[in-house]
A and B are shown apart, each in its own frame.
Chain A
Amino acid sequence: DVVMTQSPLSLPVTLGQPASISCGSSQSLVYIDGNTYLNWFQQRPGQSPRRLIYKVSNRDSGVPDRFSGSGSGTDFTLKISRVEAEDVGVYYCVQGTHWPYTFGQGTKLEIK
């Protein structure tokens, strides 16, 4: 299985400050069709997960533009330009290039 490794696992951030989460994969996530199937999910406390970003850098409908995704190959990043209170939760990267789909361990974002 492709191993997805996130860092940091815990991310205390001051309101209004930026935040960045890294995600690395044990194999390239470039599929034979040229696309890179890497998504980012947010899971707020007590809620179901929600997709934020698909194919590395595309924001889902309704996702604030303070969230952005970047990266290629095996290294990816989720950035929040200015953290708000509603951003508290756990963030996961997940790859869909290789079966089985695999998630990172999760990064817990909290407000300092």
Chain B
Amino acid sequence: EVQLVQSGAEVKKPGESLKISCKTSGDSFATFWIGWVRQMPGKGLECMGIIHLRDSDTRYNPSFQGQVTISADKSISTAFLQWRGLRASDTAIYYCAGGSDFWSGPPIFWGQGTLVTVSS
């Protein structure tokens, strides 16, 4: 079965850079979209953007455009979410979700979440 394994929890200071990862298993890489979802403490879910793993076709939620970079490396079957200057308001759990189609029958697989804490 497909698995999405995310990188571990991070504690950073404001202004620091960070890149978290979401590694996929199996033969899914060629057909998968990966979405990044933010969950701020005690809050709901927000779609940050999506990337197709085969060709790195990327769409950003305008609310996150310019704040983060979404990328992928086919050679290691991994998607990434990157910040160049973290803020305290970036403190959240970040989930990756993968599937060939988020909106129809094929299943969606989720990572376990990466907790990012930004504090001085």
Report whether chain A binds chain B: yes
Q: Does B102 contact A (CB under 8 A)?
A: yes
Any A CB within 8 A of the CB of B10: no
Residues of chain A within 8 A (CB-CB) of B108 are: 51
Chain A residues positioned under 8 Å from B95 (CB to CB): 48-49
B44 close to chain A: CB less than 8 A: yes
Q: Are B103 and A61 in contact (CB under 8 A)?
A: no
The dominant DSSP class at the A interface is loop
Cβ A106 vs Cβ B62 within 8 A: no
A residues 45-73 touching B (CB-CB < 8 Å): 48-51, 54-55, 58, 60-61
Contact: B102 with A103, CB < 8 Å? no
Contact yes or no, A49 B104, CB < 8 A = no
CA distance A98 to B90 in the complex (A): 25
Tally of B interface residues using CB under 8 Å: 23
Could you say which of B45, B103, B105, B107 contacts A49, with CB atoms under 8 Å apart?
B45
Binary contact track B59-71/A, C-beta < 8 Å → 1, others 0? 1011100000000
CB distance from A59 to the nearest CB of B (A): 10
**Residues of chain B contacted by A90 (CB below 8 angstroms):** 44
A96 close to chain B: CB less than 8 A? yes
Cβ–Cβ contact B61 & A103, under 8 A: no
Q: Does B40 contact A (CB under 8 A)?
A: no
